[in-house]
Structure 1
């Protein structure tokens, strides 16, 4: 049941997002779109409550409960980021707005971008770790909590993977290819090489070398 609810929440997330953006930019109903988008966190709340009730009713803690908690942590950390990203594209394609800014691809700017994504992963992982620990305490000694513990390590490993990716862009920053750099005019001569009257050229009444 928990897995089916996770799938339903994921489908509901995208359905509400599509409806919210369509209502905002096609029908120009901004308030209605805000209400629809604010329903997104309700899905995670429903999933959390159902998971807690399932454990309270004596269900053996399993990978399904751990997966539900990881899903909640992910949506808490990246849900708003995803909505904002898609809202920018919808505003451009449906609302006639400017094209959204693409994430940087090279140098320190890309490293900062990856660091911000890692911080989101840390936040989402921290939420999952706290909820999983609360579930462990809630079950106590009356059930097997090994699956919940294993998903705590999954959260830690996910944070570590994001951290390594961000670190790689800092230690080995991607360099912009030469083809992307602005081309130089072959006819242009730098000012430093242009002769100046009175110095590099003979001036009236003076002498040249």
Structure 2
């Protein structure tokens, strides 16, 4: 595995360490401010990964699929970060601390609207990630060496289209709730 792949693994591990550390600091130790700081470190890790990736490419490394993951991480963090932390926060509070309300199980058109909102955020993340990938291609200055960056963008584009199609399908075939007694 190359350096960038290891950096991605380290940042992914760091992401979960900061998320869990932030939640534990907040709810187990009552350190609200420290918990917030730890949770706020998650996009910083993505930014560090993007900078390391950019430096590697600037120094002449041939871009690989591993290099193309950094812009995706930062784009997803920017667009979904607050939602992901809120999701983890609600579940930690309810399932670990036994406080607060049970997380909402959406069904029907409520689920469809929520899914569509998330899918439209996915489009925004894609646009931000694409911009960052194009900047990386510009840094490389060679379209042939940037083939993996473009390949990632194409695959991600297909995933975004599928994600949005699935969300639209929930308006046609709404997600049913569980039957009583089951």
Q: Give the alignment's TM-score, normalised by structure 2.
A: 0.89
Larger relative contact order (Cα-Cα within 8 Å, sequence gap ≥ 6): 2
1:43 aligns with 2:45: yes
Q: 1:85 to 1:175 in 2, by over 3 A?
A: closer
User: In the TM superposition, what whole-angstrom CA distance separates every residue of 1:174-198 from its partner, at most 9, and x where no partner exists?
Assistant: 3456x449xxxxxxxxxxxxxxxxx
Specify which structure has the higher proportion of helix: 2
Partner Cα distance (1:142, 1:111) in 2: 40
User: In the TM superposition, what whole-angstrom CA distance separates every residue of 1:124-175 from its partner, at most 9, and x where no partner exists?
Assistant: 2111111111111121138611111111112211210110110110122234
How much has 1:103 moved relative to structure 2? 3.4
* Structure 1 match to 2:64: 62
Q: 1:103 to 1:93 in 2, by over 3 A?
A: closer
How much has 1:35 moved relative to structure 2? 1.2
Describe how 1:33-112 pairs up with structure 2 within 5 A: 33-105=35-107, 107-112=108-113
Q: Give the alignment's TM-score, normalised by structure 1.
A: 0.78
User: In the TM superposition, what whole-angstrom CA distance separates every residue of 1:61-94 from its partner, at most 9, and x where no partner exists?
Assistant: 2212112222332333333222111111222244
Q: Which runs of 5+ in 1 are unaligned?
A: 182-209
* Structure 2 match to 1:151: 152
Contact 2:19/2:85 (<8 A) preserved? yes
Q: Which runs of 5+ in 2 are unaligned?
A: none
Q: Between Structure 1 and Structure 2, whose CA radius of gyration is higher?
A: 1
Cα RMSD, aligned residues only: 2.0
* Structure 2 match to 1:4: 6
Partner Cα distance (1:100, 1:175) in 2: 19
